Structure 1
Amino acid sequence: MTPARKMLVHAGAALGIGAVALTIMAAKSAHRPSQPIFDPVSTQVRALPPPRHQGAAAAVAPPSPARPISPEVVAPPEIARLELERIEARPPLGDLGLAPPPKRIGPDDWEGTLLYRPVVTSSASFEAMGYTILLSGTKAIGSDQICAFEGISWRCGERALLAFRYWLRGRAPLCQVFPPAERQPVAAACRLGKQDVGAWLVSNGWAHALPGGGYEKAEEVARKAGMGMFGPPD
Protein backbone atom coordinates (compact mmCIF):
# COMPACT_ATOMS: atom_id res chain seq x y z
CA MET A 1 0.00 0.00 0.00
CA THR A 2 1.31 3.36 -0.91
CA PRO A 3 1.94 6.02 1.70
CA ALA A 4 -0.84 8.24 0.38
CA ARG A 5 -3.39 5.47 0.70
CA LYS A 6 -2.32 4.77 4.29
CA MET A 7 -2.89 8.39 5.22
CA LEU A 8 -6.39 8.31 3.74
CA VAL A 9 -7.27 5.17 5.72
CA HIS A 10 -6.07 6.72 9.00
CA ALA A 11 -7.97 9.92 8.36
CA GLY A 12 -11.18 8.03 7.64
CA ALA A 13 -10.82 6.05 10.86
CA ALA A 14 -10.33 9.22 12.87
CA LEU A 15 -13.40 10.78 11.36
CA GLY A 16 -15.45 7.70 12.17
CA ILE A 17 -14.34 7.71 15.84
CA GLY A 18 -15.18 11.41 16.16
CA ALA A 19 -18.67 10.84 14.71
CA VAL A 20 -19.37 8.07 17.23
CA ALA A 21 -18.25 10.28 20.11
CA LEU A 22 -20.50 13.11 19.00
CA THR A 23 -23.43 10.70 18.79
CA ILE A 24 -22.89 9.44 22.35
CA MET A 25 -22.62 12.97 23.74
CA ALA A 26 -25.81 13.98 21.97
CA ALA A 27 -27.64 11.00 23.46
CA LYS A 28 -26.52 11.87 27.01
CA SER A 29 -27.53 15.49 26.63
CA ALA A 30 -31.01 14.42 25.48
CA HIS A 31 -31.65 12.58 28.83
CA ARG A 32 -30.33 15.40 31.08
CA PRO A 33 -33.18 17.48 32.69
CA SER A 34 -33.46 21.08 31.70
CA GLN A 35 -33.72 22.27 35.39
CA PRO A 36 -31.94 21.00 38.51
CA ILE A 37 -33.84 18.53 40.65
CA PHE A 38 -33.08 20.31 43.98
CA ASP A 39 -33.98 23.86 44.75
CA PRO A 40 -30.73 25.79 44.76
CA VAL A 41 -32.07 27.93 47.61
CA SER A 42 -32.64 24.92 49.93
CA THR A 43 -29.24 23.47 49.17
CA GLN A 44 -27.47 26.56 50.30
CA VAL A 45 -25.41 26.11 53.44
CA ARG A 46 -25.75 28.78 56.10
CA ALA A 47 -22.49 30.46 56.63
CA LEU A 48 -21.01 29.82 60.07
CA PRO A 49 -20.31 32.82 62.28
CA PRO A 50 -16.74 33.93 62.30
CA PRO A 51 -14.70 32.41 65.11
CA ARG A 52 -14.27 34.48 68.22
CA HIS A 53 -10.81 35.72 68.87
CA GLN A 54 -9.54 35.61 72.42
CA GLY A 55 -9.49 39.03 73.97
CA ALA A 56 -12.17 40.45 71.69
CA ALA A 57 -15.51 41.51 73.18
CA ALA A 58 -18.37 39.43 71.79
CA ALA A 59 -21.64 41.20 71.20
CA VAL A 60 -24.57 39.56 73.03
CA ALA A 61 -27.86 39.72 71.20
CA PRO A 62 -30.90 40.59 73.40
CA PRO A 63 -33.25 37.65 74.05
CA SER A 64 -36.14 37.52 71.69
CA PRO A 65 -39.61 37.55 73.24
CA ALA A 66 -41.39 34.22 73.52
CA ARG A 67 -43.68 33.50 70.65
CA PRO A 68 -47.08 32.18 71.77
CA ILE A 69 -48.06 28.86 70.25
CA SER A 70 -51.71 28.56 69.24
CA PRO A 71 -52.91 31.65 71.14
CA GLU A 72 -56.47 30.90 70.11
CA VAL A 73 -56.30 27.53 71.93
CA VAL A 74 -53.93 28.03 74.87
CA ALA A 75 -54.07 31.35 76.66
CA PRO A 76 -50.84 32.09 78.54
CA PRO A 77 -51.36 33.21 82.15
CA GLU A 78 -50.78 36.78 83.04
CA ILE A 79 -47.86 37.00 85.42
CA ALA A 80 -47.58 40.11 87.46
CA ARG A 81 -44.02 40.96 88.28
CA LEU A 82 -44.26 41.78 91.98
CA GLU A 83 -41.66 41.64 94.70
CA LEU A 84 -41.92 38.94 97.38
CA GLU A 85 -43.33 40.11 100.68
CA ARG A 86 -42.66 38.34 103.97
CA ILE A 87 -45.70 38.07 106.23
CA GLU A 88 -46.09 36.79 109.78
CA ALA A 89 -47.06 33.16 110.41
CA ARG A 90 -50.70 32.50 111.11
CA PRO A 91 -51.65 31.59 114.68
CA PRO A 92 -52.08 27.86 115.43
CA LEU A 93 -55.52 26.36 115.02
CA GLY A 94 -55.41 24.87 118.52
CA ASP A 95 -53.21 24.11 121.51
CA LEU A 96 -52.77 20.44 120.56
CA GLY A 97 -49.67 21.02 118.43
CA LEU A 98 -48.01 23.46 120.80
CA ALA A 99 -45.07 22.32 122.85
CA PRO A 100 -45.89 22.16 126.56
CA PRO A 101 -44.08 24.64 128.80
CA PRO A 102 -41.02 23.27 130.57
CA LYS A 103 -41.77 21.65 133.87
CA ARG A 104 -40.41 23.50 136.86
CA ILE A 105 -38.56 21.42 139.38
CA GLY A 106 -39.83 22.13 142.85
CA PRO A 107 -37.80 21.84 146.03
CA ASP A 108 -39.72 18.72 147.08
CA ASP A 109 -39.04 16.80 143.86
CA TRP A 110 -37.29 13.53 144.45
CA GLU A 111 -33.95 12.44 143.23
CA GLY A 112 -33.18 8.79 142.96
CA THR A 113 -32.93 5.84 140.63
CA LEU A 114 -35.56 4.41 138.33
CA LEU A 115 -35.83 0.68 138.95
CA TYR A 116 -37.15 -1.19 135.93
CA ARG A 117 -38.92 -4.58 135.84
CA PRO A 118 -39.63 -4.82 139.59
CA VAL A 119 -40.54 -8.20 141.08
CA VAL A 120 -42.67 -8.09 144.23
CA THR A 121 -41.43 -10.36 147.02
CA SER A 122 -43.87 -9.32 149.78
CA SER A 123 -46.65 -6.81 150.34
CA ALA A 124 -44.03 -4.12 151.18
CA SER A 125 -40.86 -5.15 149.31
CA PHE A 126 -39.61 -5.88 145.80
CA GLU A 127 -36.46 -6.58 143.81
CA ALA A 128 -35.28 -4.73 140.72
CA MET A 129 -31.97 -4.28 138.90
CA GLY A 130 -30.07 -6.09 141.67
CA TYR A 131 -31.60 -4.07 144.51
CA THR A 132 -33.81 -5.46 147.27
CA ILE A 133 -36.06 -2.60 148.36
CA LEU A 134 -37.91 -2.57 151.70
CA LEU A 135 -40.37 0.32 151.60
CA SER A 136 -39.45 2.57 154.49
CA GLY A 137 -42.12 3.26 157.11
CA THR A 138 -44.08 0.09 156.27
CA LYS A 139 -44.24 -3.50 157.47
CA ALA A 140 -45.29 -6.27 155.12
CA ILE A 141 -48.21 -8.62 155.84
CA GLY A 142 -47.10 -12.21 155.95
CA SER A 143 -48.14 -14.13 152.87
CA ASP A 144 -49.71 -16.82 155.10
CA GLN A 145 -51.54 -14.39 157.40
CA ILE A 146 -55.26 -15.01 157.95
CA CYS A 147 -57.60 -12.10 158.67
CA ALA A 148 -61.15 -12.22 160.10
CA PHE A 149 -64.06 -9.98 159.25
CA GLU A 150 -67.41 -10.45 160.99
CA GLY A 151 -66.59 -14.05 161.74
CA ILE A 152 -65.32 -14.81 158.22
CA SER A 153 -61.67 -15.84 157.86
CA TRP A 154 -59.80 -15.18 154.66
CA ARG A 155 -56.22 -15.12 153.36
CA CYS A 156 -55.44 -11.41 153.61
CA GLY A 157 -51.65 -11.94 153.37
CA GLU A 158 -51.92 -13.66 150.01
CA ARG A 159 -54.39 -11.06 148.79
CA ALA A 160 -52.07 -8.19 149.86
CA LEU A 161 -49.16 -9.73 147.95
CA LEU A 162 -51.23 -10.07 144.78
CA ALA A 163 -52.59 -6.52 145.09
CA PHE A 164 -49.10 -5.03 145.29
CA ARG A 165 -47.86 -7.25 142.46
CA TYR A 166 -50.67 -6.24 140.10
CA TRP A 167 -50.26 -2.57 140.94
CA LEU A 168 -46.47 -2.48 140.42
CA ARG A 169 -46.23 -4.82 137.43
CA GLY A 170 -44.81 -3.24 134.28
CA ARG A 171 -43.93 0.02 136.02
CA ALA A 172 -40.66 1.62 137.12
CA PRO A 173 -40.69 3.19 140.60
CA LEU A 174 -38.29 5.97 141.48
CA CYS A 175 -36.50 5.05 144.69
CA GLN A 176 -34.03 6.94 146.84
CA VAL A 177 -31.11 4.62 146.23
CA PHE A 178 -27.99 5.96 144.63
CA PRO A 179 -25.45 3.85 142.77
CA PRO A 180 -22.99 2.52 143.54
CA ALA A 181 -24.87 1.39 146.64
CA GLU A 182 -24.21 -2.02 148.12
CA ARG A 183 -26.51 -4.62 146.64
CA GLN A 184 -28.18 -5.62 149.89
CA PRO A 185 -31.66 -5.11 151.34
CA VAL A 186 -32.14 -1.39 151.87
CA ALA A 187 -35.06 0.58 153.29
CA ALA A 188 -35.97 3.29 150.80
CA ALA A 189 -38.87 5.56 149.94
CA CYS A 190 -40.26 5.07 146.44
CA ARG A 191 -42.70 6.85 144.17
CA LEU A 192 -44.65 6.16 141.03
CA GLY A 193 -45.11 9.58 139.48
CA LYS A 194 -46.51 11.63 142.37
CA GLN A 195 -47.84 8.60 144.26
CA ASP A 196 -45.95 7.52 147.35
CA VAL A 197 -45.74 3.72 147.15
CA GLY A 198 -45.67 3.22 150.93
CA ALA A 199 -48.64 5.56 151.44
CA TRP A 200 -50.61 3.68 148.77
CA LEU A 201 -50.00 0.31 150.44
CA VAL A 202 -50.89 1.47 153.96
CA SER A 203 -53.93 3.55 152.95
CA ASN A 204 -55.35 0.59 151.01
CA GLY A 205 -54.82 -1.79 153.92
CA TRP A 206 -52.13 -3.95 152.25
CA ALA A 207 -49.28 -3.09 154.68
CA HIS A 208 -48.82 -2.04 158.30
CA ALA A 209 -47.44 1.35 159.29
CA LEU A 210 -44.27 1.30 161.37
CA PRO A 211 -44.21 3.62 164.42
CA GLY A 212 -42.60 6.91 163.45
CA GLY A 213 -42.63 6.05 159.76
CA GLY A 214 -45.13 8.74 158.83
CA TYR A 215 -48.00 6.46 157.77
CA GLU A 216 -49.84 6.05 161.11
CA LYS A 217 -52.75 8.29 160.08
CA ALA A 218 -53.06 6.44 156.78
CA GLU A 219 -53.45 3.16 158.64
CA GLU A 220 -56.15 4.63 160.93
CA VAL A 221 -58.11 5.79 157.85
CA ALA A 222 -57.80 2.34 156.24
CA ARG A 223 -58.91 0.61 159.46
CA LYS A 224 -61.99 2.82 159.84
CA ALA A 225 -62.91 2.47 156.14
CA GLY A 226 -62.46 -1.31 156.21
CA MET A 227 -59.81 -1.29 153.47
CA GLY A 228 -57.64 -4.27 152.61
CA MET A 229 -56.91 -6.55 155.53
CA PHE A 230 -59.37 -4.60 157.70
CA GLY A 231 -62.33 -5.30 155.44
CA PRO A 232 -64.23 -8.26 154.02
CA PRO A 233 -62.72 -10.71 151.53
CA ASP A 234 -63.10 -9.71 147.90
Structure 2
Amino acid sequence: MLALLLVVAADVAAGSREIVGLAIVQDDGSLLIKGQSIALFGVYLPDAGRQCTRRQQPVRCAPRAVLALDFRVRGFVTCEPRGRSAEGRIQAVCYADRTGLSPGEDLGAYLIKRGWALALPTAPFEYHAMERIARANALGVWGTAVDSVSPP
Protein backbone atom coordinates (compact mmCIF):
# COMPACT_ATOMS: atom_id res chain seq x y z
CA MET A 1 0.00 0.00 0.00
CA LEU A 2 2.84 2.37 0.86
CA ALA A 3 4.53 1.67 -2.48
CA LEU A 4 1.30 2.55 -4.34
CA LEU A 5 1.02 5.86 -2.46
CA LEU A 6 4.62 6.72 -3.30
CA VAL A 7 4.05 6.02 -7.02
CA VAL A 8 0.89 8.16 -7.06
CA ALA A 9 2.68 10.98 -5.20
CA ALA A 10 5.57 10.83 -7.69
CA ASP A 11 3.18 10.98 -10.65
CA VAL A 12 1.37 13.98 -9.20
CA ALA A 13 4.65 15.78 -8.50
CA ALA A 14 6.00 15.01 -12.00
CA GLY A 15 2.81 16.20 -13.69
CA SER A 16 2.68 19.48 -11.81
CA ARG A 17 6.25 20.68 -12.41
CA GLU A 18 6.55 24.23 -13.61
CA ILE A 19 8.22 24.93 -16.91
CA VAL A 20 10.42 28.01 -16.64
CA GLY A 21 12.58 29.56 -19.31
CA LEU A 22 13.04 32.12 -22.05
CA ALA A 23 9.92 32.04 -24.21
CA ILE A 24 9.61 32.54 -27.95
CA VAL A 25 6.12 33.39 -29.21
CA GLN A 26 5.35 31.23 -32.24
CA ASP A 27 3.08 32.33 -35.11
CA ASP A 28 0.19 30.20 -33.81
CA GLY A 29 0.29 31.94 -30.41
CA SER A 30 1.97 29.09 -28.56
CA LEU A 31 5.16 29.52 -26.57
CA LEU A 32 8.39 27.68 -27.22
CA ILE A 33 10.25 27.11 -23.95
CA LYS A 34 13.23 24.77 -23.70
CA GLY A 35 12.20 23.06 -26.94
CA GLN A 36 8.64 22.43 -25.72
CA SER A 37 5.62 23.92 -27.49
CA ILE A 38 3.11 25.19 -24.92
CA ALA A 39 -0.43 26.39 -25.66
CA LEU A 40 -2.08 28.81 -23.25
CA PHE A 41 -4.70 26.88 -21.26
CA GLY A 42 -8.33 27.91 -21.72
CA VAL A 43 -7.57 30.43 -24.45
CA TYR A 44 -8.57 30.57 -28.12
CA LEU A 45 -6.89 33.07 -30.43
CA PRO A 46 -9.32 34.02 -33.20
CA ASP A 47 -8.06 35.13 -36.59
CA ALA A 48 -8.29 38.91 -36.34
CA GLY A 49 -6.18 39.60 -39.39
CA ARG A 50 -2.45 39.93 -39.83
CA GLN A 51 -0.52 43.02 -38.95
CA CYS A 52 3.13 43.97 -39.13
CA THR A 53 5.11 45.61 -36.37
CA ARG A 54 8.10 47.75 -37.06
CA ARG A 55 9.20 48.08 -33.43
CA GLN A 56 11.56 45.16 -33.88
CA GLN A 57 13.99 44.14 -36.58
CA PRO A 58 13.40 42.23 -38.68
CA VAL A 59 9.79 43.36 -39.06
CA ARG A 60 7.39 40.70 -37.78
CA CYS A 61 4.03 40.03 -39.40
CA ALA A 62 1.58 37.82 -37.53
CA PRO A 63 -2.02 37.73 -36.27
CA ARG A 64 -2.75 40.63 -33.92
CA ALA A 65 -3.15 38.39 -30.87
CA VAL A 66 0.29 36.91 -31.50
CA LEU A 67 1.84 40.37 -31.78
CA ALA A 68 0.14 41.42 -28.52
CA LEU A 69 1.52 38.33 -26.79
CA ASP A 70 4.95 38.89 -28.29
CA PHE A 71 4.88 42.48 -27.00
CA ARG A 72 4.17 41.25 -23.45
CA VAL A 73 6.59 38.29 -23.35
CA ARG A 74 10.05 39.56 -22.53
CA GLY A 75 12.45 37.32 -20.68
CA PHE A 76 11.53 34.36 -18.52
CA VAL A 77 8.06 32.84 -18.47
CA THR A 78 6.73 30.39 -15.88
CA CYS A 79 4.13 27.85 -17.04
CA GLU A 80 2.00 25.57 -14.87
CA PRO A 81 0.88 22.56 -16.96
CA ARG A 82 -2.85 21.78 -16.88
CA GLY A 83 -2.90 18.90 -19.37
CA ARG A 84 -2.34 18.08 -23.02
CA SER A 85 -4.30 18.89 -26.16
CA ALA A 86 -5.58 16.20 -28.54
CA GLU A 87 -2.41 16.81 -30.58
CA GLY A 88 -0.25 16.16 -27.50
CA ARG A 89 0.81 19.78 -26.96
CA ILE A 90 1.24 20.90 -23.36
CA GLN A 91 -1.52 23.24 -22.19
CA ALA A 92 -0.52 25.52 -19.34
CA VAL A 93 -1.30 28.71 -17.51
CA CYS A 94 1.76 30.88 -18.12
CA TYR A 95 3.01 33.95 -16.29
CA ALA A 96 5.38 36.74 -17.26
CA ASP A 97 7.52 38.52 -14.66
CA ARG A 98 6.95 35.95 -11.90
CA THR A 99 9.40 36.32 -9.03
CA GLY A 100 9.54 35.29 -5.40
CA LEU A 101 7.85 38.58 -4.53
CA SER A 102 5.35 38.79 -7.41
CA PRO A 103 2.93 36.22 -8.82
CA GLY A 104 3.51 37.66 -12.29
CA GLU A 105 0.95 38.36 -14.99
CA ASP A 106 -1.21 35.58 -16.42
CA LEU A 107 -0.62 35.74 -20.20
CA GLY A 108 -4.00 34.20 -21.08
CA ALA A 109 -5.77 36.80 -18.93
CA TYR A 110 -3.61 39.53 -20.51
CA LEU A 111 -4.88 38.63 -24.00
CA ILE A 112 -8.51 38.15 -22.94
CA LYS A 113 -8.66 41.48 -21.05
CA ARG A 114 -7.50 43.27 -24.18
CA GLY A 115 -9.98 41.45 -26.40
CA TRP A 116 -7.40 39.47 -28.41
CA ALA A 117 -8.43 36.04 -27.12
CA LEU A 118 -11.58 34.20 -26.15
CA ALA A 119 -12.16 32.00 -23.12
CA LEU A 120 -12.73 28.34 -23.96
CA PRO A 121 -15.46 26.43 -22.06
CA THR A 122 -12.74 24.78 -19.92
CA ALA A 123 -11.19 28.13 -18.97
CA PRO A 124 -11.25 29.49 -15.40
CA PHE A 125 -14.33 31.53 -14.46
CA GLU A 126 -12.24 34.71 -14.34
CA TYR A 127 -11.37 34.38 -18.03
CA HIS A 128 -15.08 34.32 -18.96
CA ALA A 129 -15.74 37.44 -16.88
CA MET A 130 -12.79 39.23 -18.51
CA GLU A 131 -14.09 38.27 -21.96
CA ARG A 132 -17.52 39.76 -21.18
CA ILE A 133 -15.89 43.01 -20.03
CA ALA A 134 -13.70 43.21 -23.16
CA ARG A 135 -16.77 42.60 -25.33
CA ALA A 136 -18.78 45.28 -23.50
CA ASN A 137 -15.92 47.76 -23.97
CA ALA A 138 -15.47 46.82 -27.66
CA LEU A 139 -11.81 45.89 -27.21
CA GLY A 140 -9.70 43.87 -29.65
CA VAL A 141 -11.76 41.50 -31.79
CA TRP A 142 -14.95 42.91 -30.24
CA GLY A 143 -14.21 46.41 -31.56
CA THR A 144 -14.45 47.99 -34.96
CA ALA A 145 -12.07 46.39 -37.42
CA VAL A 146 -9.29 48.92 -37.98
CA ASP A 147 -8.64 47.82 -41.56
CA SER A 148 -12.29 48.13 -42.62
CA VAL A 149 -12.69 51.78 -41.61
CA SER A 150 -12.39 53.98 -44.65
CA PRO A 151 -10.48 57.26 -44.33
CA PRO A 152 -12.54 60.49 -44.17
Asked whether the two chains share a fold, i.e. TM above 0.5, the reply is yes
Give the alignment partner of residue 109 of structure 2, picking from 199, 222, 229.
199
> Once the 2 structures are TM-superposed, how far is the Cα of residue 142 of structure 1 from its aligned partner?
2.7
Q: Which residue of 2 aligns with 1:6?
A: none
Whether contact under 8 Å (1:133, 1:186) holds in the other structure is: yes
Q: Which residue of 2 aligns with 1:116?
A: 22
1-structure distance, mates of 2:46, 2:135: 15
Confirm whether residue 226 of structure 1 aligns to residue 115 of structure 2. Answer: no
Whether contact under 8 Å (2:38, 2:89) holds in the other structure is: yes
Structure 1 unaligned spans of 5+: 1-109, 146-156, 178-183
Give the alignment partner of residue 119 of structure 2, picking from 197, 203, 209.
209
Q: Which residue of 1 aligns with 2:68?
A: 163
1-structure distance, mates of 2:75, 2:134: 25
- The 5-angstrom pairing of residues 11-160 of structure 1 reads 112-123=18-29, 125-142=30-47, 144=49, 158-160=63-65
Whether contact under 8 Å (1:122, 1:142) holds in the other structure is: no
2-structure distance, mates of 1:187, 1:117: 15
Q: Which residue of 1 aligns with 2:91?
A: 187
2-structure distance, mates of 1:121, 1:185: 15
2-structure distance, mates of 1:221, 1:113: 30
> Once the 2 structures are TM-superposed, how far is the Cα of residue 111 of structure 1 from its aligned partner?
6.3
Q: Is the partner of 1:188 in helix, strand or coil?
A: strand
Bigger fraction of residues in strand: 2
Percentage of matched positions with identical amino acids: 28
Q: Which residue of 2 aligns with 1:173?
A: 77
What is the TM-score when the length of structure 1 is the normalising length? 0.41
Whether contact under 8 Å (2:26, 2:32) holds in the other structure is: yes
Distance 1:198 1:216, change over 3 A: same
Instruction: State the 4+ residue runs in structure 1 displaced beyond 6 angstroms.
Output: none
> Once the 2 structures are TM-superposed, how far is the Cα of residue 197 of structure 1 from its aligned partner?
1.0
> Once the 2 structures are TM-superposed, how far is the Cα of residue 135 of structure 1 from its aligned partner?
0.6
Aligned residue pairs, count: 106
Whether contact under 8 Å (1:209, 1:216) holds in the other structure is: yes
Distance 1:171 1:143, change over 3 A: farther
Structure with more contact order per residue of length (Cα contacts < 8 Å, sep ≥ 6): 2
Structure 2 unaligned spans of 5+: 1-15, 51-61, 82-87, 99-103, 148-152
Whether contact under 8 Å (1:119, 1:128) holds in the other structure is: no
User: Larger C-alpha radius of gyration, 1 or 2?
Assistant: 1
